[in-house]
Chains A and B, each alone.
Chain A
Amino acid sequence: MASQLLQLTKLIEKEFKLEFRKRVSLASVLLFLVSASYICYKVFININGLAWISLFWIILLFASINLIQRTFNQNYVRRKWLYYSFYEPSTVYLSKFLYNLFFLVIIAFLLLFLMNTFFENFIKLPSLFVYGLILGTIGITGVMTFISSVVMHAENNGVLMSILAMPLTLPVILLAVKVHAVSFGLIQDTAVSGDLLLLGGIDLLIFGLGIMLFPNIWKA
């Protein structure tokens, strides 16, 4: 267990090193965020709360596709013998998951900052908003990480990634949008904690399935 934890930290450390050696991919995601939210601002100028939430999640969804489809890219395939011989599949998957989650949470909060700069701030219940955001991000990361491992061996995997992942993120996004609508005061819901619990349950399900099924995929 302790050795696995050590391996995990090693792997995540290596991910960060690789990422910051070539900063261009991370910078491209950040640039995507800024330009997408700026285009939304120029097109809409004034929006209501519901449009704010929809734009937020759509931009976050596309940013997450851009960010996470590189998880099992050519770099990984080139180094795959290293992974096969030294690490457990669950450790590899967990490291990728945590690394993606880290960046997606940062991106989500950055997007929140951008959206609040360009548009007005609608948030009435900040803590509820953050819970919905974190749980939604975990779910999206779970789906995207698994799907990026699925398309690793496929041709034209960029297109395939969006086709496969987007319908699967829908349950997470629908629930997160509902939680956010409550946090904006758009709908009254006293049972929102049930929704949060359900969202957490779906996240757990997605993560568990991913870590369970990954050993079948990574050596395919």
Chain B
Amino acid sequence: MKYWWWKVLAIATFSYVLLAGLLTPLKSGIYSVDKTKGLLGSTLSLHVETYNTYMSSALQNVAFLKLSDNKVIRSTSINEINDYTAKINFELPSELSTGKNAERATLIINNEVDGSMILPNAILLKQDTTLIKQNGAKWTALDVASLFPNKGFRFPYRNKLHETIRNTFFHVAIWFAMFILLIIALVYSIRYLISKDLQFDYKAAAFTNISIYFGIIGLITGAIWAKFTWGAFWTADVKLNMAAISVLIYAAYWMLRSSIRDVDSKARIAASYNIFAFVVMIPLIFIIPRLTDSLHPGNGGNPALGGEDLDNSLRLIFYPSIIALTLIGLWIANLTYRLQIIHDKTLEE
């Protein structure tokens, strides 16, 4: 019990991540709207497709177009075609009365089963300058208390990510885990250079080895994610290429180890290279991506990890996932290290 409790923890945490991460449903959201513009003073009829909703079984569907909290239009009617398509009619007021000619309104749909769905900046409301009709429709204030709340534990619905938001638990977490393992490898390299004890060199090699595999998995999961969100497996995105380069740097570490025969000089040289490579990698990963634009969150005007991209429901699984993957990496590194020791012993006999 004393030595293997963390292995049980690794399996339990990773099973929790897999189950909760893949089985938890997304919040309901608005998938698409057929129009992007609306002329003020007329009737706006929208064909809306939603995701993960039960609109036909809901009895109290209501939709809003919202400019601000005090400027909201309530829908005149909603026809639910099925659970995830509906026709919504709005009677638009004749004036924006904000001094602007056009402004983007957010579409909100609410019912008692699904809670609220929001599509920000969905409809561009335009002033008709030639003809001002008076149809009696008025801006009202949004009564937040009358909206039905979202029920249950659910992941946020993001319009470009959809279900792929779950990849946060694997793609992002594995980079974190890789970096933690690389730091452990660095510490072992430094300890080797201080003590010249070969077991530290074996440990550093084992940790670097598993980090390379984690890096490759991180690149592959990222490529698949990019295909579904950015449209291509590989892009010129700076973080992508810097990550690939760091995997190359550590693959070269492995080449270096295999081309030196003498065990002691191999250990010394590999440890020195590992320290050098780690320090040079830091500008690649942390400084240069900040100087250029990136499609990744946190760069080029994209929000950083946080907000809706990493809300509390995702955090509940994302942080355990980092711990689980780090522990699994530790476990594999431990096995590789012990295998190396056995290998050495058989060579001696």
Are A206 and B280 in contact, CB atoms less than 8 angstroms apart?
yes
**Majority SS of interface residues in chain A?**
helix
Instruction: Flag whether B291 is at the interface (Cβ < 8 A).
Output: yes
- Provide the residues of chain A in CB contact with B280, threshold 8 Å: 143, 168, 171, 202, 205-206, 209
Interface segment among A19-27, A29-37, A150-158: the answer is A150-158
Instruction: Flag whether A144 is at the interface (Cβ < 8 A).
Output: no
- Provide the residues of chain A in CB contact with B287, threshold 8 Å: 171, 198
Instruction: Flag whether A163 is at the interface (Cβ < 8 A).
Output: yes
- Provide the residues of chain B in CB contact with A202, threshold 8 Å: 280, 283
Q: Which residues of B come within 8 Å of A, CB atoms?
A: 193, 245-246, 248-249, 252, 255-256, 259-262, 264-265, 268-269, 271-273, 275-277, 279-280, 283-284, 287-288, 291
| Other A-B pairs, 8, CB within 8 Å; known A167-B245, A213-B276 | A143-B280, A150-B269, A163-B255, A205-B279, A205-B280, A210-B276, A216-B272, A220-B269
**Majority SS of interface residues in chain B?**
helix
CA distance A174 to B242 in the complex (A): 11
Chain A stretch 164-198: residues in CB contact (< 8 A) with chain B = 164, 167-168, 170-171, 174-175, 178, 195, 198
Are B268 and A174 in contact, CB atoms less than 8 angstroms apart?
no
- Provide the residues of chain A in CB contact with B273, threshold 8 Å: 150, 164
- Provide the residues of chain B in CB contact with A220, threshold 8 Å: 262, 264-265, 268-269
Are B288 and A154 in contact, CB atoms less than 8 angstroms apart?
no
CB distance from A77 to the nearest CB of B (A): 12
Chain A stretch 124-177: residues in CB contact (< 8 A) with chain B = 143, 146, 150-151, 153-157, 160, 163-164, 167-168, 170-171, 174-175
Instruction: Flag whether A217 is at the interface (Cβ < 8 A).
Output: yes
Are B269 and A217 in contact, CB atoms less than 8 angstroms apart?
yes
CB distance from A165 to the nearest CB of B (A): 9
Are A167 and B252 in contact, CB atoms less than 8 angstroms apart?
yes
